[in-house]
Structure 1
Amino acid sequence: MRELAAHAEHVYTCTQRDAAVANSSIVASWRRCIAMHRLAPEQMRAPFRLSEQELKRSREDSEKLIADASAELDRLFATVGKSGCCLILTDHNGVALERRGLAGDDRHFHELGLWTGSVWTEASIGTNGIGTAIADERSVTILRDQHFFSSNINLSCTTAPIRDHRGQLAAALDISTCRDEINEITLGILGQMVRDAALRIEINLFRSAFAGARFVMVPAANNPTAALLAVDRHDLVIGATRAARLALQLDDRRISAGLPAADALQEQSVAADEDLIEAERAALVRALSRSMGNVSQAAVALGMSRATLHRKMKRLNLH
């Protein structure tokens, strides 16, 4: 009990110091819990729980998210599950939609509220990996007594936000553990794993949203594997991941207005007449490639005579 009281006192003391709030995202979260959500750190409580019907509706609303994330959850749990970790996938409201955990650990995690239907927002359960990651829209690691409530100071967690095809916050992926031997180094490794898995889920969501499109990597981005453009058959950008939006300064307005991928990538521009010539050359090259260089077959595919195709090939220097 003395440890719990000391934790609560520490939270109150830190949140009264403006410098501490400004310099620490954890203390800033503690202050939000007190000032905005009217919570008290000495409380012993579990997160709010949805009813079965409410959880069913939440899962239905996130059906695509769950489908695109399930394989990554299984893959991540196969790596960390035996070390006493629990995985939680939430929606953007902090509602736990999916979890992975060993049967031997289920009782303990259930008591803590690390279970489907629980709401892991700051308003529900104070400073925690999921709620604070959602509030700050960034990856968060919370080690033991960095949690707000005294009831959670034996818990350590690391969480990464997941964004949808428009770059908006859609979900959060969390690894939690109560193992005594966990330390900052180990939690840092788990944090990188959860961020990598969250990124793969984001890419799955993006590809699903633009099925049938071509995907172009943005080489100028800090993380090119995360910076993708979805491009239609006319070479117009129809979608961009958040990393691509940041790298190329794109928003929904620019994308919906009709943006050529070459312009978005700031590739060397050509005059309109040269653009038409390049488009014609590309069409002929594709037809010849598909026909394995057979000019007669390529001409039929293009709906022109063999002589006309030969003239075009000569003009475009394709011989």
Structure 2
Amino acid sequence: MTANHVDTVLNALHSPDTAGLSAVKASWIRSALYHGLDPATKGQRERVSEGRLSELRDAHAPFLSAARTTLDEISVLVSRSGCGVALTSAEGIVLESRVAASDRDLFSSSGLVEGGQWSEALEGTNGIGTCLQEARPLIIHKGQHFYQRNIGISCIDAPIFDPHGRLVGAIDVTSCRADHGPAMIEMIGGLVREAARRVERAYFCQHFVGSRVIFLDEASIGTELLAVDADDLVIGASRAARIRLEITDQMIARPQPAVQLIGSDQSLSFDDSQQRVIRQALAKAGGNATKAARQLGVSRATFYRRMRHGRSCQ
């Protein structure tokens, strides 16, 4: 099987129309021609030092904090079937992993350990590295790997983007089980994609804590989120929101009203702002107009007059 795999890869490399037939084979070509790798390589897998891993974890502390609950939960779902879970940096370095004690030796021998390096440049076509290279969810099942030494595993991955829309890492579920066929792997793929979205949402809300977060939609590329300040000016946008609304870093640096970016046909006015303040004061006062007026520092008569004026303008 090993010889057949190497032959398959080499044949794909020499086929003139291979790149257009399969994304996996296109990655094989990148692995060989761009990264200069040999599918028959049997050398030891790369790992960063403990010191370097510690530095990376410190640098990614907010990311790890936002992801740990999701990592724990997805691990509970897949570990009983012999799968391991990993969270990586954008460079494909495993920052944290979740593996059952009974499977630890198996995953260690496969290089799927904390500090393991799984960039496409080092390991060729693989779930983590190719997912990060292409910035999209994907599955690399057994013989789709570039290196012959990796054809015993199946990798299910999804990229994760930080609160500024930049690629920060990936979540990976890997199976070393021979009895996990494509159907099982596809089912796990749905869990992985949802896990990546949950981490992105948690990371976004954690980063913009204290700001109001607006949920726009759940798109195929992620959750569309906006963070707005007290004046409803957009101070942050998730990658999905940036793509759909064409929001740039320059637009975030010079905040614009949320209604303008969302494309609402409602125009802003002082009356709108005033009525928003009145409604908030009433809600805080439990509907008691006298208490709400006191909170705003105006008389009850003024409060009612401004409230009536707002209604007449609607």
The TM-score, its normalising length taken from structure 1, stands at 0.93
Per the TM alignment, residue 131 of structure 1 is displaced from its structure 2 partner at its CA by 0.4
Query: C-alpha distance in 1, partners of 2:283/2:202?
Result: 31
Query: C-alpha distance in 2, partners of 1:152/1:311?
Result: 74
| Map of 1:107 onto structure 2 | 105
Indicate how the Cα distance of structure 1 residues 48 and 193 shifts in structure 2: closer, same or farther if over 3 A, else same: same
| Map of 2:259 onto structure 1 | 262
Per the TM alignment, residue 255 of structure 1 is displaced from its structure 2 partner at its CA by 2.2
> Are 2:92 and 2:117, in contact at CA under 8 Å, matched by a contact in 1?
yes
Partner SS state of residue 112, structure 2:
coil
Please list the CA deviations of residues 22-72 of structure 1 after superposition, one character each: whole Å capped at 9, or x if unmatched: 221111111111112211101113431111111111111111111111111
Q: Which range moves more in the overlay, 39-48 or 7-16?
A: 39-48
- Could you tell me the percent identity over the aligned residues? 35
| Map of 2:40 onto structure 1 | 42
1:312 aligns with 2:306: yes
Query: C-alpha distance in 2, partners of 1:66/1:254?
Result: 28
| Map of 2:79 onto structure 1 | 81
Query: C-alpha distance in 2, partners of 1:254/1:57?
Result: 32
Per the TM alignment, residue 215 of structure 1 is displaced from its structure 2 partner at its CA by 1.2
Specify every segment of 5 or more residues in structure 2 that has no aligned partner in the other structure, as ranges. none
Query: C-alpha distance in 2, partners of 1:6/1:149?
Result: 12
> Are 2:92 and 2:132, in contact at CA under 8 Å, matched by a contact in 1?
yes
Residue 174 of structure 2: which of 132, 153, 176 is its match?
Answer: 176
Query: C-alpha distance in 2, partners of 1:87/1:224?
Result: 22
Indicate how the Cα distance of structure 1 residues 144 and 314 shifts in structure 2: closer, same or farther if over 3 A, else same: closer
Per the TM alignment, residue 224 of structure 1 is displaced from its structure 2 partner at its CA by 10
1:66 aligns with 2:59: no
Per the TM alignment, residue 120 of structure 1 is displaced from its structure 2 partner at its CA by 0.5
Per the TM alignment, residue 284 of structure 1 is displaced from its structure 2 partner at its CA by 1.7
Query: C-alpha distance in 2, partners of 1:316/1:51?
Result: 65
RMSD (Å), alpha carbons: 1.6
Q: Which range moves more in the overlay, 81-90 or 299-308?
A: 299-308
Structure 1 segments (4+ residues) deviating >4 Å? none
1:303 aligns with 2:297: yes
Query: C-alpha distance in 1, partners of 2:23/2:55?
Result: 33
| Map of 1:6 onto structure 2 | 4
| Map of 1:218 onto structure 2 | 216
Alignment of 1:1-319 (within 5 A): 3-219=1-217, 222=219, 226-270=223-267, 275-317=269-311
The letter for the 1-side match of 2:8 is: H
Query: C-alpha distance in 1, partners of 2:18/2:222?
Result: 36
The TM-score, its normalising length taken from structure 2, stands at 0.95
Please list the CA deviations of residues 272-318 of structure 1 after superposition, one character each: whole Å capped at 9, or x if unmatched: 6xx11111122122222322333322222111222322332333338
> Are 1:45 and 1:125, in contact at CA under 8 Å, matched by a contact in 2?
no
Query: C-alpha distance in 2, partners of 1:122/1:72?
Result: 25
> Are 1:218 and 1:224, in contact at CA under 8 Å, matched by a contact in 2?
no
> Are 1:94 and 1:119, in contact at CA under 8 Å, matched by a contact in 2?
yes
Partner SS state of residue 97, structure 1:
strand
Per the TM alignment, residue 99 of structure 1 is displaced from its structure 2 partner at its CA by 0.7
Specify every segment of 5 or more residues in structure 1 that has no aligned partner in the other structure, as ranges. none
Q: How many residues align?
A: 312
> Are 1:46 and 1:112, in contact at CA under 8 Å, matched by a contact in 2?
no
> Are 1:45 and 1:151, in contact at CA under 8 Å, matched by a contact in 2?
no
Per the TM alignment, residue 78 of structure 1 is displaced from its structure 2 partner at its CA by 0.5
Query: C-alpha distance in 2, partners of 1:222/1:56?
Result: 35
Indicate how the Cα distance of structure 1 residues 188 and 46 shifts in structure 2: closer, same or farther if over 3 A, else same: farther
Indicate how the Cα distance of structure 1 residues 224 and 148 shifts in structure 2: closer, same or farther if over 3 A, else same: closer
Query: C-alpha distance in 2, partners of 1:135/1:199?
Result: 19
Per the TM alignment, residue 223 of structure 1 is displaced from its structure 2 partner at its CA by 5.2
